[in-house]
Amino acid sequence: MKTRLFLIVSIILLTLSSCSSLLGIRYAYAPVFGPGAGEAQYGVFSNGEDLFMTVTLSSNGAIFMPDNPSIRFRNFEGTQLFLQGTSIGHTAPLISDQANTTQYVAAQFLVLPGQIDFFRSGIQSIQITTVPKVHEVSFRKDRIGLKLYKELLRQSQNTEMK
């Protein structure tokens, strides 16, 4: 069991460490009711042809992501962008480890070149399908949109050069 957990965590961390923008694109969140406070981290990577956005959520409460999660962004212009993704990992704390109750889920979402400009005006709200409750966050000012825009644009230009 510990070996399997280590393998899953290693895969998630390896995937996320390959995302060049991971450290700068994040926010903390706290639910209104019950446990589940954590952090969301976003990264952008290219496989040489396509652009992907990765999303990792940590939570001190139960959190799961369906096999085909969806994410909905609303920018400050009021436009919405809906992306379908793929779950790329889930970790749960060992039952014997009472000190660490943090769980992690991760997903990746394909971003088409025509969708990059959406992020330029900033992100006002995000909704991600997670279980038992939907991860939903709203911002008064942009926290991640411009950073995602710049990183998507950079990765897109690098992909075009190849």
Report pLDDT digits (tens) over 112-141: 999 999 999 999 999 999 888 888 999 999
* Residue 145 neighbours by CB under 8 Å, 6+ apart: 73, 75, 76, 119, 120, 121, 122, 123
The pLDDT tens digits along the chain (162 residues) read 444 544 444 444 444 444 444 456 988 887 655 567 789 999 999 988 899 999 999 888 888 889 999 999 999 999 999 999 999 988 876 555 566 678 889 999 999 999 999 999 999 999 999 888 888 999 999 999 999 999 999 999 877 665
Reference 39, options 17, 15, 63, 20; nearest CA is 63
pTM of the model: 0.80
Domain coordinates in residue numbering, the chain: 2-161
